Homo-oligomer: A and B are copies of this chain.
Amino acid sequence: MGLRERKKLAARAALSWAALRLAMEHGPENVRVEQIAAEAGVSPRTFNNYFSSKEEAICAIGLDRQERVRAALLERPAEEPLWEAVIASVLEQYGGEPDREMVARVRMQMRHPALLGEHLKAGMALERVLAEGIAERIGTDIRIDMYPSLVAGAVASATRVVMGRWLNADPPVELLPLMTEALRSLAAGLPQPPRRKKPSC
């Protein structure tokens, strides 16, 4: 890879990280692209060569995740059942400690309406990558078989649901068990009404 492309990658990453950092520190509304560009060491005009909006830059970090999910999925043993592999790959991302960094980031992206749109777009990109991975794993093509996309969509949607629930859980709960429960229940096929608690009567 030539110097040229490396610099482009670096500039993009620098801009994205700067945007995220400043947004986390001062709130997305109080960040000017001028600052972002300055912190990334490029001209303000250059910023818009990489991102078409401040919000896009802030949420672009989330696109890293999609590569990690793809890699994780590819590394699962081939004989493992599909759902097991998918669940393991996703859970891997949320393993380890709660990662306070990521918590605050996702919270910010889901709370500020201006960021939510870009956040969801990033989620869709992840969904696409996941679908491709699934397709490859079961020997299908995205274009002729909806199944991979359906699974990917359901999984992505479930992670969003879990995230949303977990972000404003009071009292706080563990993320990993929640995510595991959701994905397992998904893999089990979301069977009819599973348990109907009657809260009021």
Interchain CB contact under 8 A, B189 and A189:
yes
Tell yes or no: A146 within 8 A of B by CB: yes
Indicate which residue in B116, B117, B147, B156 contacts A190 across the interface (CB closer than 8 Å). Answer: B147
Q: Does A120 contact B (CB under 8 A)?
A: yes
Asked, given contacts A154-B154, A161-B153, A186-B150, whether A192 binds B83 with beta carbons under 8 Å apart, the answer is yes
| Residues from chain B with Cβ under 8 Å of A124 in the complex | 116, 120
Contact B121 A199 (CB under 8 A): no
Q: Is the CB of A139 within 8 A of B198?
A: yes
Q: Which of A43-64 contact B (CB under 8 A)?
A: 52
A156 to B158, CA, bound (A): 11
Q: Count residues of A near B (Cβ-Cβ below 8 Å).
A: 50
Contact A140 B199 (CB under 8 A): yes
Distance A186 CA – B144 CA, assembled complex (angstroms): 17
Q: A138-B193, A157-B154 are in contact. Are A146 and B182 (CB under 8 A)?
A: yes
Give the residue among A141, A157, A199 with the most B Cβ atoms within 10 A.
Answer: A157
A interface with B by C-beta (< 8 Å): 52, 81-83, 113, 116-118, 120-121, 124, 127, 138-141, 144-147, 149-151, 153-154, 156-158, 160-162, 164-165, 178, 181-182, 185-186, 188-199
